Amino acid sequence: MVHATIWAILESAEQRFAGREAVLENSVENVVEGAIRRDYGEFAQRVRARARGWRALGVGPGDRVAILDWNSGAYLESYFAAAGLGAILTPLNHRLAVPELHEILCDSGAKLV
């Protein structure tokens, strides 16, 4: 898949690996419920839903979307959704102090946090 976009790669994986596990999220937070597993189809549906929601909020090509999250399935969904919209994901580090986060947000011009 030469010169493919992230969105095209996601759609290709959804078709090629239908029903196979794409995301396994095993963390302390979900130890009671067990690991969260998503197959490629479910993952792609969640990414498209997130992208639709962001588009409804006015996010489009070139816009920045800031995210403060752990390495999680939701983070991965955000990464693909931003790419699908042509937006730029701006990751924020949870270890930073509030003034540092504020500076990054102001400097980035994020349209959505």
- The 10s digit of each residue's pLDDT in 6-37 is 888 888 888 888 888 777 676 655 555 567 77
20-49: b or e for each residue (b if 16 or more CB lie within 10 Å)?
eebbebeeeeeeeeeeeebbbbebbebbbe
CATH fold group of domain 6-108: Rossmann fold (3.40.50)
Residue 73 has pLDDT above 90, yes or no: no
